[in-house]
């Protein structure tokens, strides 16, 4: 039997997706489509479903979003398309993510090949990092006829899709499938190559017409007092181990303390619960009224029975004993746990790449995606804009367009 950790919620059937599509008002100049950061055009693909054209729906999604099956599962839709949905004025928004998942599931079952490589234009681009930004940039460039090599320091592609987002929300098989599509377009992924260590930036610049840095924020932030604490692990390290081992971790104790209150923290606590940890306590800096995690994620964690305490900051740690103080009221508590997981954010690790990073981003430039080096471009989480998969997708598209503009490849379109 597949474990709770490996089980994603059930998707729509042909009948139930039609019920949901029939709720859609088919709006004029649809606000949902305007609110999708990657222009996936939900109003159009929902209308296709309504008129029983699932293949057409799949084309709309795929042509706008090379990671459509992933976005369907992980997009914080309540902040994007669904927040704008007119239907919410009647009862609730259309479940756009759910419909998108149904369509892309059908696309997979039908083995549709929607994207095609463009005629080779003789120019080549190197992409550093195979997260969503790098993958989408590769897809767009291949459609325009550029040769694409992706350099990835890890053994698998996907960035946080593969090493972060838990299996029950985003099955590895889906990521592998989406990556394979992009490989099938003719992108070449070179695994286990860390640029700046195994190969230099100068090598890449010499060999390619342009270089895209899409390295994301792959290192964990920490708090000095936890730096040498042997009971402490970072959220992304824990989530990566859980995903790589399909949830089969044999070092899980019965009592885990998690610090942090964003979506990553919610993933950690929910994963712990799904893996059978009895006592999961989450200490959160923000109070509930100012909570960072999405409602959906928070509710998921609460449903699993996680103890969430809001408004506390850690003030002292001794081995496995952490003392917290409330930020506003006079209150202190000490928690003893068998393991501590820090989920307080990620930061960029651009060692050896010779690019400026300030506050985890490349400083804003007049022309977006350019770095100080005219041959080097940047995209994804390391440039301004939301730190989400769908934003990474859009930034991936846009950086490819920008390179195409600079290299004059538009003639090839």
Partner 1 sequence: MIKKDLSIDSLGVHFENPFCLSSSPVGNCYEMCKNAYDAGWGGIVYKTLSPDHFVIDEVSPRFSQLTKEDTPFVAFKNMEQLAEHPMAQDLADMRRLKKEYPDKVLIASIMGETPQDWTNLAKLVTEAGADMIELNFSCPQMTSHTMGSDVGTNPELCKTNCEAVKKGTNLPVLAKMTPNIMTMIPVVKACLEGGADGVSSINTVKSITDIDLDNKVALPSINGKSAVSGLSGKAVKPIALRFLQQIRSAAGLEQLPVSGIGGIETWEDAAEFILLGASTLQVTTAIMQYGYRIIDDLTNGLMHYMDEQGVDHLKDLVGIANKNILPTNQLDRDYKVYPKIDWDKCIGCGRCFISCQDGAHQAMGWDDDKRLPTFDKSKCVGCQLCALVCPVGAIKLGLVEMKPGRKGDPAKVDASTFQLPNAEN
Ligand X SMILES: Cc1cc2nc3c(=O)[nH]c(=O)nc-3n(C[C@H](O)[C@H](O)[C@H](O)COP(=O)(O)OP(=O)(O)OC[C@H]3O[C@@H](n4cnc5c(N)ncnc54)[C@H](O)[C@@H]3O)c2cc1C
What are the distances in angstroms from CA 137 to CA 2, 94, 266, 377, 380? 34, 29, 29, 11, 10
Whether the Cβ atoms of residue 393 and residue 71 lie closer than 8 Å to each other? yes
Piece of 94-102, 260-268, 283-291, 402-410 that binds ligand X (CB under 6 A): 260-268
Piece of 58-66, 188-196, 225-233, 310-318 that binds ligand X (CB under 6 A): 188-196
What are the strands of the beta sheet with 339-342, ordered from one edge?
Answer: 232-234, 339-342, 255-259, 279-284, 307-310
Distance in Å, CB of 93 to ligand SF4, minimum: 6
* Total residue count of the chain as it appears in this document: 413
Question: Of these partners, ligand SF4, partner 1, ligand X, none, which one is at the site of residue 18 (CB under 5 to 8 Å by kind)?
Answer: partner 1
Q: Does 194 bind ligand X (CB under 6 A)?
A: yes
Q: Name 321's bridge partners.
A: 318, 336
What are the strands of the beta sheet with 312-318, ordered from one edge?
Answer: 312-318, 321-326, 332-336
Distance in Å, CB of 397 to ligand SF4, minimum: 21
Stated as kind and residue range, the H or E segment containing 334 is strand 332-336
Task: Indicate which single residue of 48, 218, 232, 234 sits in contact with ligand X (rule: CB under 6 A).
Answer: 218
Distance in Å, CB of 32 to ligand SF4, minimum: 3
Distance in Å, CB of 22 to ligand SF4, minimum: 10
Minimum CB distance to ligand X smaller for 21 or for 220:
220
User: Number of C-alpha atoms within 13 angstroms, CB side, residue 323?
Assistant: 6
Distance in Å, CB of 221 to ligand SF4, minimum: 37
Q: List the x/- string, 277-316, binding to ligand X by CB under 6 A.
A: ----------------------------------------
Residues ≥6 apart with Cβ < 8 Å to 202 = none
Q: Quote the CA–CA distance of 135 and 189 in Å, as a whole number.
A: 10
Distance in Å, CB of 22 to partner 1, minimum: 4
Binding residues vs partner 1 (CB under 8 A)? 15-16, 18-19, 21-22, 25-29, 31, 50, 86, 89-90
């Amino acid at each position: 039997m597949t474990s709770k950790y490996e089980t994603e919620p059930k998707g729509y059937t042909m009948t139930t997706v039609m019920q949901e599509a029939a709720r859609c008002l088919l709006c004029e100049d649809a606000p949902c489509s305007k609110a999708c950061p990657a222009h996936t055009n939900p109003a159009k693909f929902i209308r296709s479903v309504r008129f029983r054209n699932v293949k057409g729906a799949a084309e709309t999604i795929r042509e706008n979003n090379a990671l459509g099956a992933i976005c369907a599962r992980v997009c914080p839709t309540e902040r994007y398309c669904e927040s704008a949905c007119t239907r919410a004025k009647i009862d609730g928004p259309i479940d756009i993510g759910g419909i998108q998942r149904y369509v892309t599931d059908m696309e997979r079952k039908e083995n549709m090949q929607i994207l095609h490589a463009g005629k080779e234009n003789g120019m080549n681009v190197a992409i550093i990092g195979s997260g969503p930004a790098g993958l989408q940039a590769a897809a767009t460039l291949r459609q325009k006829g550029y040769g694409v090599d992706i350099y990835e320091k890890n053994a698998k592609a996907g960035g946080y899709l593969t090493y972060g987002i838990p299996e029950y929300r985003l099955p590895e098989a889906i990521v592998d499938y989406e990556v394979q599509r992009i490989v099938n377009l003719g992108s070449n992924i070179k695994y286990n190559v860390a640029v700046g260590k195994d190969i230099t930036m100068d090598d890449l610049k010499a060999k390619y017409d342009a270089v895209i840095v899409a390295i994301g924020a792959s290192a964990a932030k920490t708090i000095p007092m936890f730096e040498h604490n042997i009971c402490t692990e970072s959220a992304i390290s824990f989530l990566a181990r859980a995903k790589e081992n399909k949830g089969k971790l044999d070092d899980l104790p019965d009592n885990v303390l998690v610090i942090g209150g964003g979506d990553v923290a919610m993933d950690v606590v929910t994963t712990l619960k799904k893996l059978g940890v009895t006592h999961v306590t989450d200490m959160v800096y923000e109070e509930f009224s100012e909570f960072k995690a999405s409602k959906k994620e928070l509710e998921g964690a609460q449903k699993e029975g996680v103890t969430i305490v809001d408004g506390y900051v850690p003030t002292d740690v001794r081995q496995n004993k952490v003392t917290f103080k409330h930020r506003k009221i006079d209150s202190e508590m000490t928690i003893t746990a068998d393991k501590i997981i820090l989920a307080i954010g990620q930061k960029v690790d651009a060692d050896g790449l010779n690019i400026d990073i300030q506050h985890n981003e490349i400083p804003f430039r007049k022309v977006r995606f350019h770095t100080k080096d005219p041959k080097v471009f940047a995209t994804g989480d390391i440039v301004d804009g939301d730190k989400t998969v769908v934003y990474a997708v859009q930034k991936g598209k846009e950086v490819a367009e920008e390179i195409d503009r600079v290299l004059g490849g538009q003639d090839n379109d």
